[in-house]
Amino acid sequence: MSEAASFFRTNWRTLAMGVVAILGALIISALLRTQNEANRARDDAIRWQSQTYEGMIRAHGIASTVASAEAALGRYVISGDRELGRVFTDTWQQAGSQITRMAAATRGNAGQQANVAELRRAYAERGKELDEVALYSNFKRNSSALGRYYAVRESPARKSLDAVMARVIAHERASLVRRTAAAARTRADLEQSSRVLIGFGVIIALAALALGVVTVQAFRRSAAADAEAEVERERSAELEEAVAEATAQLREEAREREAAEAQLRQAQKMEAVGQLTGGIAHDFNNMLAVTLGGLELAKRHLHIGGPDAQRHIENAMEGANRAAALTRRLLAFSRSEPLLPEAVEGASLINGMSELLDRTLGETIVIETRDAGLGWRVWVDRHALENAILNLSVNARDAMDGRGTLTIAADGRTLREREIGEAPAGDYVILSVSDSGMGMTPEVLERVFEPFFTTKPVGKGTGLGLSQIFGFVRQSGGEIGIDTAPGKGTRVSLYLPRYEGAVSPVAADPIAFEPRAEGHTGFDVLVVEDDSRVLSAALDALRELGHRPVGCGDPMEAEKAIGSMAALDLIISDVMMPNRTGPELISELKPRLPGVAVLFVTGFAGEAEAEQFGGYPVLRKPFTLAALARAVDVAMSGGNRGTIRPAK
């Protein structure tokens, strides 16, 4: 027998033990590798879960920061406290930083990167809306800021931001579900492999013992992983509770904002009074001094037969007209006087103002007009637009120190989105006023639209002109552009949206009063006016025009006054009166007086809208005898008018 066979018979147990040991070692090695895979899978699952939870925390943090910023802006709009404005700016910038950190944290997640990019865009769009509200508050235009703040509360940008935030959170939750399922599948596969190896260990005792030890350790580690997962679940529950508390806090802040709305209106009124009083007192005193001084001098010259009575009366009327013009500007600036828009062709309006501009600016100003020949129209209040061009022309004259060339041009242009300010894309009529004056520095240009800011000497201006024009153009859906440089003059351009409808005829210039023919018998007129002095003046003016007026100082006594009249052709009524407004009076009387003409007279329309006048003509106070005569003619020619004899 060979030595090899003898060695095998003698040492087979040893060889078998060696084989078993090798197999056991292989099984142990396989178990260790399996356990390492399980540990790695568990660590990956915990890491991905942690990243997902952190992503959800970031998303909820962004939502909370955005909500805090909007709440701070609301308090800023209400109080006007610039410290709250800075809180809004800092909080809004903090939200942007949080979005940047979230973009860095989700760099390896293509789907979430797309959501974060969309979130950044929605954040930027929403920021522009809120910045516009903050800008109105910075300029102390709290009424406009509040209106704009309410207008953007449910804006598309706000809804887009909320929707994108919801998608970000939903994406993180879906990732959590996906990764948890993958970890469960991996764990199940590894447990199956462990069971196979344990089966081999039963055959091999040492391998089975080693495998049993390793299996016990694996179960212990699995229990630890379950415990850690439970801790993470508790942490998630705490996070959701924190988010719920933050949401409740935001709702409470919203209720506080609503409670502050009632106080805001009164605060705005008091603020407006404080701003207006000091700014206009000096100008009004100057105008009243001219008016009273001229009347007193005219009275003296009439008594002594002096030759200058007419000149002094004309000076007094000029002062009164300037006071009336300033009042109209204040009403337009405060939005108390409603706009009455109509279709207007820009070049025709400028041509119709040429005589007025010549008289206003004087002979030392050379006026040039240019028309691009487009014939485009705008939908605006004609008188407000004329007043805007007149104000710009007067400013240009002052900038040229009374001598130079003034150019007024009408043109048209198609603008891109926000090419000029916030103007949307479309066709725009451009009315520009250019001068060859001193121009403006960057510091003056930055403040040019602020109310009561003026570079003119004391007594030469109130600082309301450009701020009024700014409000009128924005109210008409347009924008303002200014091109200026020191020593190179200034061009102010009004961009107004093009109107495609029918054009309104150019308004006729005021006509001089001419006495009626001797055969004219006049009209029977009821005048309803609560101010006794205005009522007396109106009655005298109507008698001077040849009419037969009857006065009524209380709108509640109007029916009684009508019953005492033999006939009735026209009702002239003030608008704002105690107990009953003019439109309310006419609304009640008109059905019982068909064919009677109506003329409203007002110096302050308040909250009345144009629709409330029912299409009847409106005469603004103060008015001249010629204006009253024309207004009566317009009212009497406005339809089927017949003399009504009231029932006794």
- Which one of 236, 270, 304 terminates a domain? 270
Domain check: are 99 and 239 in the same one? yes
8 A C-beta contact, residue 218 and residue 212: no
Domain check: are 227 and 83 in the same one? yes
Q: Is the pLDDT of residue 135 over 60?
A: yes
- 44 domain residue, yes or no: yes
> What is the enclosing helix (H) or strand (E) of 412?
strand 404-415
- Cα→Cα distances 271→137, 142, 151, 258, 390, Å: 13, 9, 22, 20, 29
Q: Go through 312-323 and write b for each residue having 16 or more CB atoms within 10 A of its CB, e for each that does not.
A: bbebbbebbebb
Q: Is the pLDDT of residue 332 over 60?
A: no
- 298 domain residue, yes or no: no
Quick one: tokens of 390? Answer: 């007149």
Instruction: Give the whole-angstrom CA distance, residue 31 versus residue 214.
Output: 7
Quick one: tokens of 156? Answer: 């598309």
Domain check: are 146 and 229 in the same one? yes
SS3 state of residue 429: strand
What's the confidence (pLDDT) of residue 252? 84
Among 386, 376, 387, residue whose Cα is nearest residue 343: 376
- 322 domain residue, yes or no: no
Domain check: are 476 and 533 in the same one? no
What's the confidence (pLDDT) of residue 548? 94
What's the confidence (pLDDT) of residue 334? 52
Taking only the tens place, the pLDDT of each residue in 155-176 is 787 778 788 878 888 887 787 7
SS3 string, 271-292, reads HHHHHHHHHHHHHHHHHHHHHH
Bridge partners, 574 (sequence order): 601
Sort 45 into a burial class: Cβ within 10 Å, 0-12 / 13-18 / 19+.
Answer: buried
Quick one: tokens of 193? Answer: 């492999």
CATH code of 608's domain: 3.40.50.2300
Domain check: are 547 and 482 in the same one? no
Quick one: tokens of 588? Answer: 């009640």
What's the confidence (pLDDT) of residue 508? 36
Among 239, 252, 244, 266, residue whose Cα is nearest residue 71: 252
Name the packing angle between helices 110-138 and 82-105 (round to 10°).
Answer: 170
Domain check: are 189 and 104 in the same one? yes
- Which one of 243, 270, 297 terminates a domain? 270
Among 614, 616, 380, 408, residue whose Cα is nearest residue 503: 380
What's the confidence (pLDDT) of residue 211? 53
- Can you tell me which residue has the tokens 């009640």? 588
Query: DSSP string spanning 256-268?
Result: HHHHHHHHHHHHH
8 A C-beta contact, residue 621 and residue 648: no
- 125 domain residue, yes or no: yes
Domain check: are 202 and 258 in the same one? yes
What's the confidence (pLDDT) of residue 616? 87
> What is the enclosing helix (H) or strand (E) of 511?
none
Domain check: are 116 and 83 in the same one? yes
What mean pLDDT comes out for the span 530-542? 87
CA angle 409, 342, 477 (to 5 degrees): 70
What mean pLDDT comes out for the span 465-488? 82
Reported confidence tier of residue 521, pLDDT bands at 50, 70, 90: low
Quick one: tokens of 129? Answer: 């809306």
Count how many domains the chain has: 3
Reported confidence tier of residue 643, pLDDT bands at 50, 70, 90: very low
- Cα→Cα distances 608→327, 328, 383, Å: 17, 15, 18
- 320 domain residue, yes or no: no
- 495 domain residue, yes or no: yes
Range 213-221, long-range pairs (CB < 8 A, 24+ positions): 214/28, 214/31, 214/32, 214/35, 215/31, 217/35, 218/31, 218/35, 218/38, 218/194, 221/35, 221/38, 221/39, 221/42
Quick one: tokens of 564? Answer: 């005492």
More confident residue, 310 or 392: 392
Reported confidence tier of residue 459, pLDDT bands at 50, 70, 90: very low
8 A C-beta contact, residue 399 and residue 437: yes
CATH code of 477's domain: 3.30.565.10
Domain check: are 546 and 474 in the same one? no
Q: Is the pLDDT of residue 506 over 50?
A: no
- Cα→Cα distances 105→114, 431, 633, Å: 13, 52, 77
Domain check: are 480 and 376 in the same one? yes
- 508 domain residue, yes or no: no
Reported confidence tier of residue 355, pLDDT bands at 50, 70, 90: low
What's the confidence (pLDDT) of residue 143? 67
CB atoms within 10 A of CB 576: 15
Reported confidence tier of residue 341, pLDDT bands at 50, 70, 90: confident
Q: Which domain holds residue 385?
A: 342-499
pTM score, whole prediction:
0.35
Instruction: Give the whole-angstrom CA distance, residue 235 versus residue 566.
Output: 90
Alpha helices in 488-544 (DSSP H): 532-544
More confident residue, 211 or 560: 560
Reported confidence tier of residue 447, pLDDT bands at 50, 70, 90: confident
Bridge partners, 599 (sequence order): 572
Q: Is the pLDDT of residue 261 over 60?
A: no
468: Cβ–Cβ under 8 A, 6 or more apart, which residues?
Answer: 329, 332, 333, 387, 388, 391
Which one-letter DSSP state was computed for residue 595?
T
Taking only the tens place, the pLDDT of each residue in 395-442 is 888 888 878 888 999 998 898 888 888 888 999 999 999 998 888 888
Domain check: are 604 and 476 in the same one? no
What's the confidence (pLDDT) of residue 218? 63
8 A C-beta contact, residue 89 and residue 130: no
Range 529-537, long-range pairs (CB < 8 A, 24+ positions): 529/553, 529/572, 529/573, 529/574, 529/577, 529/601, 530/554, 530/555, 530/574, 530/577, 530/578, 531/574, 534/574, 534/621
Q: Is the pLDDT of residue 490 over 50?
A: yes
What mean pLDDT comes out for the span 517-528? 75
- Which one of 247, 270, 293 terminates a domain? 270
- 383 domain residue, yes or no: yes
Q: Is the pLDDT of residue 495 over 60?
A: yes
Instruction: Give the whole-angstrom CA distance, residue 292 versus residue 280.
Output: 18
Reported confidence tier of residue 568, pLDDT bands at 50, 70, 90: very high
Domain check: are 214 and 92 in the same one? yes
